[in-house]
Amino acid sequence: MRCAICPVQDSCIPPGTAVDLRPWALAFTLLDWPERQKADCWAALEAGFQPILPPEAAEEVARLQADQFLHHQAARDRGARLLLPGDPGVDALLAPLPYPVALWVRGTLPPVGPRIAVVGSRRASSGGKARTRAWAKTLAEAGVAVLSGLARGIDGAAHEGALEAHGGATGKAATWGVLGSGLDHPYPPEHKPLMDRMVQAGGGVLTPFPPEALPLKWHFPRRNWLLAAWVDAVLVMEAARASGSLVTAKLALDLGKELYVVPGSEGTDALLDEGAAHPCTEVGDLLAG
């Protein structure tokens, strides 16, 4: 087997030789390699081959391996942790991905157990946000970890409702957010106090982007991909016909996850018309499922 970025045949890793996967996760996260090439390179490693990289790429991976301490220290300087393959609890999150990534984490990782992603429109109606808060609170009270993307509208309401379930900052962990930017540039910026409350309550904020990464448009599909990969089901509360929430919904279907939608908005009704989702008219529909 050979990696797509390698000009020559990969070399076989001797049996019993432990391969340090941490610099590879950093490489897949920080280096500008095409997605298919990352996946093919990872497939070579999983099959027991050491990719032979072009000199420039090999130097980049070697530099990341040598600079791991600096990356860890940069995370600690921000009150966070850099988690790589082999670190406690992270391998279960990396397992469903096509290749491992580095994760910058404030607070805790989502716990083992039922998890649901609650997503929806940034320009949600007042009724949609109120319903989201109430349902997220009920889900958290039932022991379901509520994940969302920390965006305005439905996402923020989901995090707020889950925090209400256990008394906010002094309660039991209930909600985790996945960012489409680095920790230095949370988006939207007005949700930084919400992030702080989530961490103080025992939940967490995770991102696959280094601290200095800006909230660029093409970052959010990766955020949506992780949300879909890390939960048992996705609930779309309210959405326009063309929205990031529908991207998350379709990723969930691709990954074989359950998809629930609240009828009554263009985006959710379109999913129902396609026969792709379960209608959800009360929070009990989710708990029963």
**Could you report the per-residue pLDDT of 168-222, keeping only the tens digit for each?**
444 466 899 999 999 999 999 999 999 999 999 999 999 999 999 999 999 999 9
Q: Please, which pLDDT band fits residue 35 given cuts at 50, 70 and 90? A: confident
What tens digit of pLDDT does each residue of 215-264 get? 999 999 999 999 999 999 999 999 988 888 899 999 999 999 999 999 99
Residue holding tokens 């089901």?
A: 233
Q: Is the pLDDT of residue 11 over 90?
A: no
What whole-number distance in Å separates Cα of residue 61 and Cα of residue 68?
11
Residue of higher predicted confidence among 22 and 54:
22
Report which residue type is found at 51.
P
Q: Is the pLDDT of residue 147 over 60?
A: yes
Report which residue type is found at 161.
G
> In this predicted structure, what is the pLDDT of residue 17?
54
Domains of the chain: 11-101 (no CATH), 115-288 (3.40.50.450)
Q: Please, which pLDDT band fits residue 280 given cuts at 50, 70 and 90? A: very high
Rg of the chain (C-alpha set): 20
Q: Is the pLDDT of residue 5 over 70?
A: no
> In this predicted structure, what is the pLDDT of residue 250?
93
Q: Could you tell me if 262 and 118 are in contact, meaning their C-beta atoms sit under 8 angstroms apart?
A: no
| pTM score, whole prediction | 0.91
> In this predicted structure, what is the pLDDT of residue 48?
83
Report which residue type is found at 102.
A
Rounded to the nearest integer, the mean pLDDT of the chain is: 90
Q: Which residues contact 207 (CB under 8 A, 6 or more apart)?
A: 103, 104, 105, 178, 179, 180, 181, 182, 183, 213, 223
Q: Is the pLDDT of residue 138 over 70?
A: yes
